[in-house]
Amino acid sequence: MGHGCVHGEQMEQVAIKTKLGSSMRFTPTTVGGAKVIDPILREDSRGHFFRAWCLREFAEHGIDFIPVQGNMGFSLRRGTVRGMHFQGEPALEAKLIRCTRGRVFDVVVDLRPESPSYCKWYGTELTADNGRMLYIPERCAHGYQTLEDGTDLFYLTSQYYTPSAASGVRFDDPAFKVEWPLEVTVVSEQDRNWPLMSGRILQ
């Protein structure tokens, strides 16, 4: 599928003005509809507090996301890659990703043929310290690489896990050319063997 695809790269984020009283800062990415969401910390002598999700603020930024399920993934080893995963019809899902321990390089790939960013990817570092989140729209694939041993990832989904709709694309598919920051040291057999994009029609 390399022909006609726009290959994604990490790019400077476009800063957008944060509304007075907002608890999160939303930044668009090179993948249409995907957004980086940075919390605005409230700090005092005890430590800090931040909001991890807000229906109203998400709606104000054009994100229609109501989570129905939460999941956690633990990876033992630095360099582990999980992905690239998505759900197709009739169980399309959006995801909101954050790291709760350690560090990950989190990636979204656009699988929507009608999208201006089709086949483009975007990656950003999520850590337990920065509290950053990445919003993954429907019909986009998600994956990540751990940057530290003993890393936890927590994510909310807009759809229930549906095995018959679960699918994936290869983390090393030449149609995307995702630039993983570390050597890929651990990956599941399933993730190694997703079919290449060439010749696939995704719904």
- The residues assigned a catalytic role are 85, 155
Task: Please report the sign of the dihedral spanned by the C-alpha atoms of residue 34, residue 203, residue 59, residue 116.
Answer: positive
Cα separations in angstroms, 175 against 1, 3, 59, 112: 6, 8, 32, 13
Cis peptide before 90 (omega within 30 of 0): yes
Chain mean position to CA 196: 20
